[in-house]
């Protein structure tokens, strides 16, 4: 049901994300609209400033020109004053009226007698003739201008800045009889001035002002119309120019939502075209990246087959299909047998090449609709769709046969790859993916326990289930044993072959059962290794071996202990510090301790293991190479390994008197080991005949029930040896 609901949940979350993006966009301004608004506002402000500037500028120009025009009219005063000194000429008055009619700016021409009394006035069309006399102050001011460069008075009107009032005296000059033929100038004391009166000229430029303002209003109106039209035209042009920018909005929004199939419209402008090209390049790069990420997310980087995550997805889908349609499928769990030895012998690159070859072989062994995946380091799984138990067993048998024929050559060495297979059936009663994988894994372990290179089908009941339950039950038992110190140490002597004397004791571990019985390590250590408890057990042994040494060294000053360490102990970076601290706490001389490690760990020797071995050697500890002879190409590494002791695996010693090949192998190991500076120890010595034979083959020490059984405390026990061996020890005496 969870698998069915997941797509609906993802779709609902996508709708919520789109709605949130829409709400977020509503609160933001549009770029195109903002540009168009700025353009229109700028045009309106510029037009308004132009109109205001034109109006006020025109006003200023007009005011300046009114004064200039008024000054020009002062030059016409002589002609306008004719009616005063040509009073007998009636035509002068008629000419004056026609003159005033020709010039609309003349509002009034008034004539005054010398006393300032109004004689008559001629008014223009826009004004009636005045009937007021001149004030005395104006008369005096006007008379004072006689003989000056500006014989007139001019001032703007108090009521209208467009009107000017000009007042000029009218006079005639006559010469005296004495000065008529003299050398004096005509003016001055020799001449007489007779005032005829005053002429007043009122100019009103309002008609021009109104006419000009009317023209200006028409011009402003035309300008506003043009600016408005220009604004709308500019808006249209700008919107069309920015349309390519607007066209990017929707594709970019779809791209932000993860749609890499989006298409961009071509842009006519170079800049936008460059942006579109960059976006298309980005989309192409994102598509390529997503394809790579999808490939990496779904496939194993080494072999190219599906990885664990993708396989679980396929298994979940198949479980849904089985539930809906009622068919059966099969899950095969495949574990390579003894694969670690290839890594140990030739290195991890060689192991990787073999893993790739195995993946290719498995891919060829399955059907078109089946799925193969790499589940772990040397573990593979296969999902066989629409496959029942019989077909699954046939597929497992085919895979086993194909793997038996598979050979791998590395450094002139040929490796044959075998595997163990566990099968679980996916049917209506068995659909949970975690349980299916666990069942197939447990069935694969049963195949390994049965001798490897075979397959087993998971059975829900019977002895297999009891064995699996017992295996899982070890987790709780071991955890409690570590927390409650429910382990015990036993000490087995290792004696010299030539003298029978005890050289040192190997420390062995036993588990104290809840009923007080002792459980052998073969029963619980494999489970401890599978469930990650070996490192804690190693540290428990180191601490209690140090306690035992402190306790028993007072009785035997030559006591030396040999402690087994698993590979898990060296994975803990605190190993060296823990050993140094524990030995110092219990007064243990490091040179009295021998650490035993297996051949596979010694050959593999990761960098951190080398560093810890070097640090322990620096403390004074010795090292023994245990189980020698069980790995690949041991002799090629023997001279490279720096060990103090070499322990031959018991498989070579168990039936030594009746196995000539084993005898030659032990002799060869002894010779090579001695050349490398090691002392040779043989395990599993059960009788005197084997001990005597080992002495003749060059072995230095022996361990086994004939030499001494494990005891609660280290016991010094001499081994009876043959007379020939004793003679060789004493130099032939």
Give the separation between CA 164 and CA 424, rounded to whole angstroms. Answer: 120
pTM score: 0.44
Reported for 708-713, long-range contacts at CB under 8 A and 24+ positions apart, including other chains, are 708/492, 708/493, 708/495, 708/502, 709/492, 710/490, 710/491, 710/492, 710/508, 711/490, 711/491, 711/492, 712/488, 712/490, 712/491, 713/491, 713/548, 713/552
SS3 at position 111? strand
Using the 8-state DSSP alphabet, how is residue 427 labeled? B
Give the separation between CA 597 and CA 626, rounded to whole angstroms. Answer: 6
Number of residues that this document lists for the chain = 733
Using the 8-state DSSP alphabet, how is residue 720 labeled? P
Q: Are 586 and 547 in contact (CB under 8 A)?
A: yes
Give the separation between CA 470 and CA 530, rounded to whole angstroms. Answer: 13
Which H or E element spans position 380?
A: strand 379-384
Which runs of E-coded beta strand occur in 27-114?
Answer: 106-112
The CA–CA distances, whole Å, from 699 to 290, 508, 541, 624, 684 equal 64, 23, 28, 15, 13
Give the separation between CA 727 and CA 695, rounded to whole angstroms. Answer: 12
Give the separation between CA 201 and CA 13, rounded to whole angstroms. Answer: 93
Using the 8-state DSSP alphabet, how is residue 129 labeled? P
Tokens 């039950």 belong to: 473
Structure tokens, 407: 């050979």
Q: In which region does residue 677 sit, left (phi positive, over 0), alpha (psi from -120 to 50) or beta (all else)?
A: left
The CA–CA distances, whole Å, from 524 to 165, 479, 595 equal 132, 12, 21
Using the 8-state DSSP alphabet, how is residue 587 labeled? T
Structure tokens, 576: 């060296």
Under CATH, to which class is 79-204 assigned? alpha beta
Which parts of the chain have pLDDT scores under 50?
1-4, 186-188, 462-463, 632-633, 729-730, 732-733
Under CATH, to which class is 481-729 assigned? alpha beta
Give me the residues paired with residue 199 across strands.
111, 168
Residue 332 is predicted with a pLDDT of: 94
Residue 543 is predicted with a pLDDT of: 94
Tally DSSP H helices, then E strands, for the chain.
25, 21
Give the separation between CA 265 and CA 262, rounded to whole angstroms. Answer: 10
CA angle 685, 688, 691 (to 5 degrees): 55
Reported for 116-119, long-range contacts at CB under 8 A and 24+ positions apart, including other chains, are 116/198, 119/84, 119/197
Using the 8-state DSSP alphabet, how is residue 573 labeled? T
Q: Over the range 674-703, which residues count as b (16 or more CB within 10 Å of their CB) and which as e?
A: eeeebbbbbbbbbeeebbbbbbebbbbbbb
Give the separation between CA 589 and CA 504, rounded to whole angstroms. Answer: 14
Structure tokens, 629: 């002879």
- For helices 534-552 and 521-530, angle between their N-to-C axes, nearest 10 degrees: 130
Give the separation between CA 398 and CA 273, rounded to whole angstroms. Answer: 60
Using the 8-state DSSP alphabet, how is residue 153 labeled? E
Paired sense of beta strands 622-628 and 645-648, if any: parallel
Which H or E element spans position 71?
A: helix 31-74
Give the separation between CA 438 and CA 458, rounded to whole angstroms. Answer: 10
Q: What is the pLDDT of residues 407-465, one digit of tens each?
A: 778 776 777 778 999 999 998 776 787 888 888 988 898 888 776 788 999 886 544 55
Backbone angles phi, psi at 266, to 5 degrees: -65, 145
Structure tokens, 530: 């599978």
SS3 at position 690? helix
Q: Are 50 and 282 in contact (CB under 8 A)?
A: no
Q: What is the pLDDT of residues 84-130, one digit of tens each?
A: 766 655 566 666 777 777 777 787 888 888 888 888 787 776 555 55
Structure tokens, 441: 């894994």
Residue 595 is predicted with a pLDDT of: 95
Q: Are 690 and 655 in contact (CB under 8 A)?
A: no
Q: Are 426 and 320 in contact (CB under 8 A)?
A: no
Q: In which region does residue 629 sit, left (phi positive, over 0), alpha (psi from -120 to 50) or beta (all else)?
A: left
Residue 18 is predicted with a pLDDT of: 59
Q: Are 95 and 79 in contact (CB under 8 A)?
A: no
Tokens 């698998």 belong to: 3
- The stretches of 326-385 forming alpha helices (DSSP H) are 339-346, 348-365
Q: What is the pLDDT of residues 217-241, one digit of tens each?
A: 787 788 778 878 877 787 777 777 7
Q: What is the CATH number of domain 299-460?
A: 3.30.70.270
The CA–CA distances, whole Å, from 500 to 503, 560, 647, 669 equal 9, 16, 17, 21
Using the 8-state DSSP alphabet, how is residue 592 labeled? G
Cβ-based neighbours of 556, under 8 Å, separated by 6 or more = 714, 716
Domain boundaries, the chain: 79-204, 299-460, 481-729
Give the separation between CA 419 and CA 382, rounded to whole angstroms. Answer: 14
């Amino acid at each position: 049901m969870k698998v069915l609901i997941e797509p609906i949940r993802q779709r609902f979350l996508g709708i919520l994300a789109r709605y949130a993006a829409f709400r977020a966009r509503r609160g933001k301004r549009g770029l195109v609209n903002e540009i168009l608004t700025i353009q229109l506002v700028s045009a309106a402000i510029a037009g308004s400033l132009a109109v205001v500037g034109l109006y006020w500028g025109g006003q200023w120009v007009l005011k300046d020109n009114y004064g200039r025009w008024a000054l020009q009219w002062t030059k016409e005063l002589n002609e306008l004053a004719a009616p005063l000194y040509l009073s007998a000429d009636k035509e002068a008055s008629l000419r004056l009226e026609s003159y005033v009619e020709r010039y609309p700016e003349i509002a009034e021409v008034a004539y005054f007698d010398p006393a300032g009394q109004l004689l008559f006035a001629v008014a223009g069309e826009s004004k009636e003739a005045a009937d007021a006399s001149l004030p005395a102050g104006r008369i005096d001011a006007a008379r004072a201008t006689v003989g000056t460069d500006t014989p007139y008075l001019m001032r703007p009107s108090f009521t209208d800045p467009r009107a000017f009032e000009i007042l000029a005296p009218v006079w005639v000059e006559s010469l005296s009889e004495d000065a008529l033929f003299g050398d004096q100038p005509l003016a001055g004391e020799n001449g007489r001035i007779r005032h005829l009166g005053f002429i007043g000229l009122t100019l009103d430029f309002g008609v021009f002002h109104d006419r000009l303002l009317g023209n200006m209003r028409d011009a402003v109106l035309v300008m506003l119309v043009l600016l408005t039209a220009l604004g709308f035209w500019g808006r249209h042009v700008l919107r069309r120019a920015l349309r390519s920018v607007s066209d990017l909005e929707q594709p970019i929004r779809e791209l932000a939502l993860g749609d890499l199939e989006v298409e961009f419209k071509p842009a006519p402008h170079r800049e936008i075209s460059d942006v579109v090209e960059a976006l298309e390049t980005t989309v192409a790069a994102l598509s390529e990246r997503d394809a790579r990420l999808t490939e990496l997310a779904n496939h194993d980087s080494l072999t190219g087959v599906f990885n664990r995550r993708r396989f679980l997805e396929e298994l979940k889908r198949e479980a849904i299909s089985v539930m809906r349609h009622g068919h059966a499928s099969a899950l095969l769990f495949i574990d390579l047998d003894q694969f670690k030895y290839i890594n140990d012998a030739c290195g991890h690159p060689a192991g990787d090449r073999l893993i790739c070859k195995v993946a290719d072989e498995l891919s060829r062994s399955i059907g078109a609709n089946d799925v193969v995946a790499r589940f772990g380091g040397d573990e593979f799984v296969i999902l066989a769709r629409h496959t029942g138990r019989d077909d699954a067993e046939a597929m497992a048998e085919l895979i086993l046969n194909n793997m038996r024929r598979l050979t791998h050559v590395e450094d002139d060495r040929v490796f044959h790859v075998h595997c163990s297979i566990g099968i679980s059936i996916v049917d209506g009663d068995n659909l949970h993916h975690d349980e299916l994988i666990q069942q197939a894994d447990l069935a694969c372990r049963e195949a390994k326990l049965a001798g490897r290179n075979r397959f087993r089908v998971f059975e829900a009941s019977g002895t297999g289930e009891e064995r699996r339950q017992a295996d899982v039950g070890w987790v709780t038992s071991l955890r409690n044993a570590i927390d409650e110190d429910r382990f015990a140490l036993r000490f087995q002597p290792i004696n010299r072959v030539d003298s029978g004397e005890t050289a040192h004791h190997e420390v062995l571990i036993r588990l104290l059962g809840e009923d007080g019985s002792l459980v052998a390590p073969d029963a619980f250590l494999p489970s401890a290794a599978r469930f990650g408890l070996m490192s804690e057990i190693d540290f428990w042994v180191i601490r209690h071996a140090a306690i035992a040494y402190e306790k028993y060294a007072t009785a035997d000053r030559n006591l030396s202990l040999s402690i087994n360490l698993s590979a898990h102990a060296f994975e803990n970076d605190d190993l060296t510090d823990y050993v140094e601290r524990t030995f110092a706490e219990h007064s243990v001389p490091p040179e009295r301790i021998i650490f035993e490690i297996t051949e596979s760990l010694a050959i593999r020797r990761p960098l951190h293991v080398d560093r810890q071995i070097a640090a322990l050697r620096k403390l004074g500890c010795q090292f023994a190479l245990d189980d020698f002879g069980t790995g690949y190409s041991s002799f090629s590494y023997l001279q490279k390994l720096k060990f103090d002791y070499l322990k031959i695996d018991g498989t070579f010693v168990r039936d030594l008197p009746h196995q000539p090949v084993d005898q030659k192998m032990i002799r060869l190991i002894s010779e090579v080991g001695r050349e490398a500076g090691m002392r040779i120890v043989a395990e599993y010595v059960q009788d005197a005949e084997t001990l005597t034979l080992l002495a003749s083959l060059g072995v230095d020490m022996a361990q086994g029930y004939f030499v001494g059984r494990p005891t609660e405390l280290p016991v010094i026990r001499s081994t009876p040896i043959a007379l020939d061996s004793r003679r060789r020890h004493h130099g032939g005496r």
